[in-house]
Structure 1
Amino acid sequence: MTIALLFAGLLLLLFTGLPIFAGLAVFGGGLLLATQGELGSVTEVMFGEMNRYLLVAIPLFAFMAYVMIRSRIVDDLYQTAYTLTRHLPGGLGIATILACTIFAAISGSSVATALTIGAVAIPQMIRFGYDPRAAYGLVAAGGTLGILIPPSGPMILYGVTTDTSIGGLFMAGLVPGLVMAGVFIAWSMVTTALKHRHIEREPRASFREAMASIRKSAWALSLPVFVLGGMYAGIFTATEAAAAGAWLALFVGVVIYRTLGLRDIWDAAIDASRISAMLFMILAGASVFGHVLTKLRIPQQIVEAVTAADIGVTGFLVVMMGLIFVLGMFLESIAIILITTPVILPVMHHLGINPIWYGVLLVINLELAQITPPVGMNLFTIKAITQAPMGAIVRGSAPYVLLMIVVLAMVMLWPQIALWLPGTMKG
């Protein structure tokens, strides 16, 4: 009962419109003051949480992403994807998902992926005769791949919170991310064949044309291969990979594409600083909340409750996925990670749940949060691009919610979908 009251109080405070970092810090500090009579070493707790080398990866990956966005490589990526798939049913939809998949491996952000790919893809799909709702839903769902396919900001924060290998989490997200992209592609092909037969397919690209298109995007395609391949082979840690990726992004933008000036680099650095500062402030506030929960022995009470209920691993995961799905309708993804993870971590250890496996399940669920109303960020992103009615965007995204739940269930039933690749890593 105490646990439910605590979380209900926190959610009510956050629903007042108070910034998430302030709500976490104020609520945690208030509880500490009420129960302990003093704030104690709150500043030390906050500093200890922030003083982690792994967190350096967040601004570096963000800088890499913004540099590549400002290098304007998206047109080349999209054109390459379309050249290779234009002869297939739903070729333009397939190209959109492929472009989202590749850009997800560069940006690490769902919103950035939906915004950048959507600005190019949605007008094209509508011009070729696709139902606008189908175009909205496809891009909104494809954008969610930004936080599952590495690099991923939420995975970094989850890894820091649980003291789990960031490289292992990144590799664990790769196969489920590709599976999800494959499911989206299959859906696009089937629905196009059934509902959009009037859309004409272009002839298959010749070998020479396909190779020319791939060569044009080769440098952009090399970035995720360089970053992820370096981590997989044990050459880089996650933080070192972020730094190396940032340098390669600068090289591609300045030397290869020659579209990046000093002003663009400065703006990319400012954007990366803003997003990183926001995440760090939320992390600092969450550290206070987590500290007071530990003081009140909330995690231990949850372990005792789960043990008494004897619901087992599957029951616990189903309950948690349902809870996170509901929270995702109202809260930002980072807040969900930082509020729930410290509380359930002892339960995961007690039940023997692999934290990498759970991390992938969590991130898939957070992807769902991006396209479920009322606070689905990708829905608002598509509305900002198209000015379409929100109802049309939500209806277009609805089938993808079901598809993502199917993938979530697959990874829950067959953990090796997530755990196989990390198990083969070197180092």
Structure 2
Amino acid sequence: MTFVIVLLLLLALLYTGIPMFSGMFLFSGAVLLYFFGNVGTLGEFVFEKLNVYLLVAIPLFMLMAHFMVRGKVVDDLYDTAHTLVRHLPGGLGIATVFACAVFAAISGSSVATALTVGKVAIPQMLRYNYDRLGAYGVVAGGGTLGILIPPSAPMVLYGFVSDTSIGALFMAGVVPGLLLAAIFAVYCMVTEGRRERRLGPAYVRPARASGPEMGTALRRSFWALTLPPFVLLGIYFGVFTATEAAGTGALWALLIAAVIYKTLGWRDLWAGAQEAARTTAMLFMIIIGAALFGYMLTKLRIPQELVELVVRHDIGKYPFLIAMMALIFVLGLVLESISIILITTPIVLPVLKALGIEPVWYGVLLTINLELALISPPVAMNLVVIKSITGAPLKDIDRAAIPYMVMMGLFMLLIIAVPGIATWLPGTMFGQ
């Protein structure tokens, strides 16, 4: 009951419009002051929480993404995918999913993926008479792959808060991310194939690209396609840690954009560094607020009481996981991803340990649920991005996202039923 009251009070405070960092910091400080008469040595506490080598990965992964985007290295991704698969039923949708998957492995951001790919893909799909709602839906769904296919900023935050290996989390996201992308692609083939049969001769499918066209497209995107395997294989084989992968990935992205493509100038370099610094500062402030919130919860013994409740009622791990996923989905309707990770993780960690739930497995389920939040109204960032691109009514975009919400919900249940989908690849990593 204490947890429910604390959560409702915090949500009420955040809904006043106060910045999240300030809300969590002030709320936690006020609760500590009220119940314990002091807030301890906050300066030392903040320094200790931020003085962590792992957090260096956040600005470096952001730098990597900004170098590739500002250097226009990723601009050819959709064109390449379109050239390779445009002749298939739903080929434009498949190309969009493919471009989203690759860009996700570069940017680590779902909103950036939906915005960057959507600006290119949606006009192209509409030009070829692709179903309008289908075009909106595939960008909304494909864009969510940004935080599941590594590198992923939410996974870094979850790993930091839960003290879970970032490398293992990244590897755990690869198979589910690719499998979910494949499910989206098959859905595009099936739905657009039905539409083609229904329209008959009125439906015009783009012609198959020639061999030279495909070869030219692949050569154009070759260097952009080298970055994801460079980072992921380095982590997988133990060549470098996640933080070192972020540094080497940022350097490789810089070399590709500035030396090979010659499209990244000094002004772009400086602007990318500034943007990465601003975003990092914002995230670090939120981390401070969340750390204090977790400390406050521990002082109030809320995690311990939750564990005792689970043990007393003999709740198994599967009912607990389903209940948590339902709660996180509800929170996702009103909060954004970072808030959900930092508010819920300190509370559930002791329960995960008590029930023998692998934190990496839970991390993948959490990430898929956060993806679902990105296309679930009313706080659905990917849908707002699509509206900004197209100017379409939000109700149409919401309707277009429903099939992808259903697919992601069923996929989450599949991961609960078959945890090996998420845990197999991390288990084969070098040194595991």
Q: TM-score, normalised by structure 1?
A: 0.98
Instruction: Give the 5 Å matches for 1:50-69.
Output: 50-69=50-69
2:380 paired residue number: 376
Q: Distance in 1 between matches of 2:162 and 2:118?
A: 34
Match of 1:237 among 224, 234, 241: 241
The alignment's C-alpha RMSD in Å is 1.0
State the secondary structure of the residue aligned to 1:49. Answer: helix
1:48 paired residue number: 48
Identity %, equivalent residues:
59
Q: Please say if residues 109 and 147 of structure 2, whose CA atoms lie closer than 8 Å, have aligned partners that are also in contact.
A: yes
Once the two structures are superposed, what CA deviation does each residue of 1:314-367 show, in whole Å capped at 9, x if it has no partner?
Answer: 010000000000000111101100100001100000001000000000000000
State the secondary structure of the residue aligned to 1:225. Answer: helix
State how many pairs are aligned.
427
1:187 paired residue number: 187
1:309 paired residue number: 313
TM-superposed deviation, 1:205: 2.8
1:119 aligns with 2:119: yes
Structure 1 residues without counterparts, runs of 5 or longer: none
Q: Please say if residues 173 and 360 of structure 1, whose CA atoms lie closer than 8 Å, have aligned partners that are also in contact.
A: yes
Q: TM-score, normalised by structure 2?
A: 0.97
Q: Please say if residues 94 and 189 of structure 2, whose CA atoms lie closer than 8 Å, have aligned partners that are also in contact.
A: yes
2:178 maps to amino acid: L
TM-superposed deviation, 1:251: 0.7
2:89 paired residue number: 89
2:166 paired residue number: 166
Q: Please say if residues 104 and 146 of structure 1, whose CA atoms lie closer than 8 Å, have aligned partners that are also in contact.
A: yes
TM-superposed deviation, 1:2: 1.2
TM-superposed deviation, 1:196: 4.3
Q: Distance in 2 between matches of 1:222 and 1:321?
A: 35
Match of 2:360 among 348, 356, 373: 356
1:26 aligns with 2:30: no
2:3 paired residue number: 3
TM-superposed deviation, 1:209: 2.8
Once the two structures are superposed, what CA deviation does each residue of 1:4-57 show, in whole Å capped at 9, x if it has no partner?
Answer: 111110111111111111111011001000000111122222222111100000
2:146 paired residue number: 146
Match of 1:418 among 388, 407, 422: 422
Once the two structures are superposed, what CA deviation does each residue of 1:68-100 show, in whole Å capped at 9, x if it has no partner?
Answer: 111112331111111110110011110000000
2:331 paired residue number: 327
Structure 2 residues without counterparts, runs of 5 or longer: none
TM-superposed deviation, 1:165: 0.5
Q: Please say if residues 128 and 206 of structure 2, whose CA atoms lie closer than 8 Å, have aligned partners that are also in contact.
A: no
| More deviation, 67-76/27-36 | 67-76
Instruction: Give the 5 Å matches for 1:100-139.
Output: 100-139=100-139
1:56 maps to amino acid: V
| More deviation, 253-262/171-180 | 253-262
State the secondary structure of the residue aligned to 2:77. Answer: helix
TM-superposed deviation, 1:259: 1.1
Q: Please say if residues 82 and 91 of structure 2, whose CA atoms lie closer than 8 Å, have aligned partners that are also in contact.
A: yes
Q: Please say if residues 86 and 208 of structure 2, whose CA atoms lie closer than 8 Å, have aligned partners that are also in contact.
A: yes
1:249 maps to amino acid: A
1:341 aligns with 2:317: no
